[in-house]
Structure 1
């Protein structure tokens, strides 16, 4: 156990020394295709088509943002940026959101997860390991662990957050999903996300298995959903179906559907309901139990 602790501490220190500064307190490399339980098969370098839009990821990292100690709530979140399982929007669905959570007393960890590339187990195991690290079940994040660890996800990152909430062996204490990809039903899904998650030759059975409205159970955590009525990229029915499934299983849930804004707004200032979603998140977090269930 001591060897594992020192290994993770070394990784934390080394990663921080060579990583760009986004306001994070520390950066932790979780693992890569050679050391993770499964590989996504990507062997070519990571890409960045424009600033903070990264793709072809084959290693998982956590960017840790410490909670403001004067406002600390005892909560932490793993944040999964979106990008259609092709890339990660690391700024408005990652770092910027993390800085806001931290300023409001919630420790935040932005997860750079590996693209599935037809291997759906890969991003899920990245998210589960990130949760375990923030829960203190794995070494490496001393000083950043919290009593209650939730998960936040946007778009395809919302699908990943919902996978962790419904399929993971380690479940988050709560989930906050922004315009999430949920269903894979033809004509009602974000086809690109499911193509990259499962492959274009996926079967109907595989599609149904990863349509997460079908995977909700009694262990799924309380969930907050935030979306726009005019989202043409990810149909709002993904969120409404998920909400219905949560209520069918007696899970505490809340949903806010804003009249406009489209898709992918995250932390953008031009989203007309930014102040409203921020207030909704903070108020909802205050309703949650004080300890991990």
Structure 2
């Protein structure tokens, strides 16, 4: 009971002050795959451990500023826990304040079962696309935002899901992309694929290898002094996008480290926020252009 009260209090604190809808997608008993974790969720320093249920926290866009866009937000945490506060609810509230409906995804941690977080993300995208009109959003403008390992999950959705459910755009913030030695965040792949993974597994989940001509446009942001996830991860994904002719933008700032995506205390983090909004506005403008009719 005490653990339930702590979790409830954490959720209330993190989501306070924003109009939202809470959607329980499924749990280990009802989802296509089980992550093998048992027992209750655990909270340590605003981090969620042992997640066994996929839940969406939907922040409706400010009606006065609605852009018609919506996005699933995937928190980071190295696939070991969820940084649901700074990389999740803070991002969701901020997007909603600026006209983008945001659905923060509490996904089930993989525990070495790589299909689990991705199927949660697919369910989230399907839900948000289906209900987009409820939030003054266009179902064709439902994208995805992810930080760190959540960036890997977002990029997985952009490259690996069926085309009819792939996000319309991806914003990847200091994302994990590759399992290549010397470039990877090893812990993320240990928890995603397990420590007995093969080279083939690593190649399959190194997402620069999964980009195709149907991958959506992407914005990538990283800091040059990131010591957790080397910024070359973003460079590899950007290069793959450009090889396939996909519209993409890459921002690597001189400093900023890793984590706390929207922390306004750092000079470049303020620029990150402006760059994200500018890029989303550009996409919205492009989507509003009338298509030319054949003569």
TM-score by length of 2: 0.88
- Alignment of 1:133 with 2:127, yes or no, is yes
Q: What is aligned with 2:34? A: 39
Q: What is aligned with 2:3? A: none
Is contact 1:27–1:63 with CA below 8 Å preserved after alignment? yes
Q: What is aligned with 1:168? A: 161
Report the number of matched residues. 271
Is contact 2:219–2:248 with CA below 8 Å preserved after alignment? yes
- Alignment of 1:290 with 2:284, yes or no, is no
Is contact 1:154–1:179 with CA below 8 Å preserved after alignment? yes
Q: What is aligned with 1:201? A: 196
- Alignment of 1:20 with 2:12, yes or no, is yes
1:124 to 118, 125, 131: 118
- Alignment of 1:64 with 2:61, yes or no, is no
Deviates more, 1:273-282 or 1:150-159: 273-282
Q: What is aligned with 2:97? A: 103
1:88 to 76, 82, 85: 82
Q: CA deviation at 1:275?
A: 1.9
Cα distance in 1 for partners of 2:278, 2:263 equals 20
Is contact 2:63–2:136 with CA below 8 Å preserved after alignment? no
Is contact 1:247–1:253 with CA below 8 Å preserved after alignment? yes
Tell me, what secondary structure is at the counterpart of 1:87?
coil
Is contact 1:19–1:27 with CA below 8 Å preserved after alignment? no
Tell me, what secondary structure is at the counterpart of 1:109?
strand
Structure (1 or 2) with the greater helix fraction: 2
Cα distance in 1 for partners of 2:136, 2:229 equals 33
Is contact 1:64–1:144 with CA below 8 Å preserved after alignment? no
Q: CA deviation at 1:267?
A: 1.7
Q: What is aligned with 2:152? A: 159
Q: What is aligned with 1:13? A: none
Cα distance in 1 for partners of 2:270, 2:180 equals 33
2:213 to 204, 218, 233: 218
Q: Encode CA deviations 1:33-83: one digit per residue, 9 max, x unaligned.
A: 001111111112111012x21011010000110101011111001000100
Q: What is aligned with 1:278? A: 273
Tell me, what secondary structure is at the counterpart of 1:77?
strand
Q: CA deviation at 1:179?
A: 0.4
Cα distance in 2 for partners of 1:44, 1:238 equals 34
Q: What is aligned with 2:4? A: none
Q: Encode CA deviations 1:73-106: one digit per residue, 9 max, x unaligned.
A: 1100100010000111111111111111111111
Q: Encode CA deviations 1:254-284: one digit per residue, 9 max, x unaligned.
A: 0110101111131223332122111111111
Q: What is aligned with 1:144? A: 135
Backbone CA RMSD of aligned residues: 1.7
Cα distance in 2 for partners of 1:111, 1:256 equals 25
Give unmatched runs, 5+ long, in structure 1.
1-15
Is contact 1:165–1:221 with CA below 8 Å preserved after alignment? yes
Q: What is aligned with 2:178? A: 183
Instruction: Decide whether aligned partners of structure 1 residues 100 and 106 sit closer, same or farther in structure 2, where only a CA change above 3 A counts.
Output: same
